């Protein structure tokens, strides 16, 4: 518990000012999809915080596409986590799951949320926990509650407490921003008059590598989120781009033109040591991404005449072609469980996100827009964040890995692009 308090207070320092507000628009493209009805009774005492914690929890769970909030009439007295549950009564309200809780205000000004999750169908409690938080961190606390509920009911970790990074362009100004996974509490890490592309989170979530054009050419930086230190890690003669973290957090794959062409190299993420070249072709080799187990590097190459996805051992060597359908398959992103590869494919001039099942080679195009870029898996593999263009403006969009649920995060003002979904927060 003290750890969580520390974490939440740390987050308050890190996320001091909200720069941009985002509103989520959820589009469930398959209305037949089964969404589990869940009753989340407003927590007794939450009014003292000034923000409805349970409203944030409900919005989180609905955004996953797996849940539908059940309307609950005002109950008197308001039930808490200690109130005995009448399963028959909640069954008659057509809820499959129930969350009851309360918020206590401590004398030191902190709050404590305590809650319990119930399976109404099986008539069994699923678990209970309490979190302490400060007023500024009510959203972070609500995301923790949603993660707990999600995990107790689905058996999988939730991603509501994770963060996303992306680039916003307004005229000639570029900002690298981070925000909560729901697009709220956005703030910038870097503001520049030159483009910023390809942000990627380090495995532990405390560093972001990206490419900045501030020196009139692409240079790779590692940005430390806590102290805002930024370090040049690749500024060789020529172009330096496409950073990717190895799962150990110590190694970066990058694409350099220093030896001619565009080839993949490994570097130490702290900038020490020498570069190690691991691709060796006369063609373009770019967009490296490590598999979650660190054994493979997936990358884009035009060695076969058109850009396609290949993979090689993470130490280099022979490459194996992975995509075959179509003449333009780029931006490979292996899923966290290693079973699926997301990438961008061109179909009749439209750029869309496709998923390739690596065991049976089945391909499924999961978006229907036409300028999709930069797919990024949620750390639990359930959703994919991507950049697309709607009405001439860059927006972020999220699609469930089965393609049935789509969401948009239309930020106020500017073009939003280059999304990167951060890791689980410990």
Partner 1 sequence: MRAILIAALCSAGLLLGGGCATTPEDQAAAGVESRTAPGGKPGADTRAVQPPKVAAVDITGKPSASALAALKDPNNILSKRSIYYDLDKYDVKDEYRSLLEAHAKYLRENPTARMMIQGNTDERGSREYNVALGQRRSDGVKKMLTLLGARENQIETVSLGEEKPQADGHDEGAWSKNRRSDILYGGEY
Within positions 257 to 276, which residues make up the interface with partner 1, using CB under 8 A?
257, 260-262
Query: By C-beta, is 57 or 167 nearer to partner 1?
Result: 167
Query: By C-beta, is 78 or 195 nearer to partner 1?
Result: 195
Identify which range of 141-149, 211-219, 359-367, 402-410 contacts partner 1 by CB under 8 A. Answer: 211-219
- The correct pick among 95, 319, 344, 355 for binding partner 1 (CB under 8 A) is 344
Query: By C-beta, is 198 or 323 nearer to partner 1?
Result: 198
**Pattern 407-426, binding to partner 1, x per CB under 8 A?**
-----------x--------
313 near 295, Cβ under 8 Å?
Answer: yes
Query: How far apart, in whole angstroms, are the C-alpha atoms of residue 125 and residue 344?
Result: 43
Q: How far is the CB of 374 from partner 1 (least distance, A)?
A: 7
Residue 147 touching partner 1 (CB under 8 A): no
Per DSSP (E only), the strands in 214-349 are 219-224, 230-234, 240-245, 251-256, 263-268, 276-277, 285-290, 296-301, 308-313, 319-321, 329-334, 340-347
- The correct pick among 38, 140, 255, 378 for binding partner 1 (CB under 8 A) is 255
Query: By C-beta, is 42 or 332 nearer to partner 1?
Result: 332
Residue 242 touching partner 1 (CB under 8 A): yes
DSSP 8-state assignment for residue 136: G
- The correct pick among 54, 177, 300, 407 for binding partner 1 (CB under 8 A) is 300
**Pattern 345-384, binding to partner 1, x per CB under 8 A?**
-x----x---------------------xx----------
Range 322-337 burial, b when 16+ CB lie within 10 A, else e: bbeebebbbbbbbbbe
Identify which range of 180-188, 233-241, 352-360, 400-408 contacts partner 1 by CB under 8 A. Answer: 233-241
- The correct pick among 35, 206, 217, 404 for binding partner 1 (CB under 8 A) is 217
Query: How far apart, in whole angstroms, are the C-alpha atoms of residue 419 and residue 391?
Result: 19
- The correct pick among 286, 335, 376, 397 for binding partner 1 (CB under 8 A) is 286
Instruction: Tell me the CA distances in angstroms from 138 to 59, 61, 332, one per residue in order.
Output: 14, 16, 36
Query: How far apart, in whole angstroms, are the C-alpha atoms of residue 81 and residue 229?
Result: 44
CA angle (35 as vertex; 34, 39 as ends), nearest 5: 145
Instruction: Tell me the CA distances in angstroms from 375 to 40, 85, 336, 343, one per residue in order.
Output: 32, 43, 13, 7
408 near 25, Cβ under 8 Å?
Answer: yes
Query: By C-beta, is 238 or 338 nearer to partner 1?
Result: 238
Tokens describing residue 207: 């560093």
In the block, residue with structure tokens 């729901």: 182
Binding site residues, partner 1, CB under 8 A: 195, 197-198, 211, 213, 216-218, 237-239, 241-242, 255, 257, 260-262, 284, 286-287, 300, 307, 328, 330-331, 344, 346, 351, 373-374, 392, 418
């Amino acid at each position: 518990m003290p750890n969580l308090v520390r974490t939440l207070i740390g987050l308050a320092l890190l996320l001091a000012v909200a720069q941009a507000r985002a509103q989520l628009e959820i589009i469930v493209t398959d209305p037949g999809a089964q969404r589990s009805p869940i009753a989340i009774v407003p927590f007794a005492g939450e009014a003292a915080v000034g923000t409805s914690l349970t409203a944030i929890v409900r919005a989180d769970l609905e955004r996953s596409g797996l849940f539908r909030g059940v309307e609950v009439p005002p109950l008197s007295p308001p039930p808490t986590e200690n109130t005995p549950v009448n399963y028959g009564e909640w069954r008659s309200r057509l809820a499959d799951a129930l969350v009851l809780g309360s918020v206590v205000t401590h004398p030191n000004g902190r709050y404590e949320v305590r809650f319990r999750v119930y399976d109404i169908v099986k008539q069994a409690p699923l678990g209970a926990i309490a979190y302490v938080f400060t007023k500024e961190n009510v959203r972070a606390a609500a995301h923790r509650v949603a993660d707990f509920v999600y995990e107790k009911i689905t058996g999988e970790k939730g991603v509501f407490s994770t963060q996303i990074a992306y680039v916003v362009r307004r005229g000639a100004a570029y900002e690298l921003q981070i925000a909560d996974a729901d697009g709220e509490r956005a703030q910038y890490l870097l503001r520049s008059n030159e483009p910023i592309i390809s942000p990627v989170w380090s495995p532990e979530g405390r560093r972001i590598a990206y490419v900045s054009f501030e020196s009139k050419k692409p240079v790779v930086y590692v940005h430390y989120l806590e102290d805002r230190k930024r370090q040049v890690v690749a500024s060789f003669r020529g172009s330096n781009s496409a950073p990717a973290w190895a799962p150990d957090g110590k190694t970066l794959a990058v694409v350099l033109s220093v030896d001619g062409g565009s080839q993949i190299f490994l570097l130490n993420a702290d900038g020490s040591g020498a570069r190690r070249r691991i691709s060796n072709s006369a063609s373009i080799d770019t967009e490296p991404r490590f598999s979650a187990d660190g054994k493979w590097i997936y990358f884009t190459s035009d060695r076969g005449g058109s850009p396609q996805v290949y993979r090689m051992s993470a130490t280099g060597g022979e490459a194996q072609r992975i995509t075959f359908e179509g003449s333009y398959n780029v931006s490979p992103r292996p899923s966290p469980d290693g079973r699926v590869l997301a990438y961008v494919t061109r179909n009749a001039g439209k750029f869309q996100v496709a998923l390739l099942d690596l065991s049976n080679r089945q391909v499924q195009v999961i978006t229907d827009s036409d300028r999709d870029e930069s797919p990024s898996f949620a750390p639990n593999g359930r959703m994919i964040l991507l950049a697309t263009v709607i009405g001439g403006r860059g927006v972020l969009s999220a699609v469930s890995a089965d393609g049935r649920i789509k969401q948009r995060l239309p930020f106020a003002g500017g073009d939003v692009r280059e999304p990167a979904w951060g890791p689980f927060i410990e």
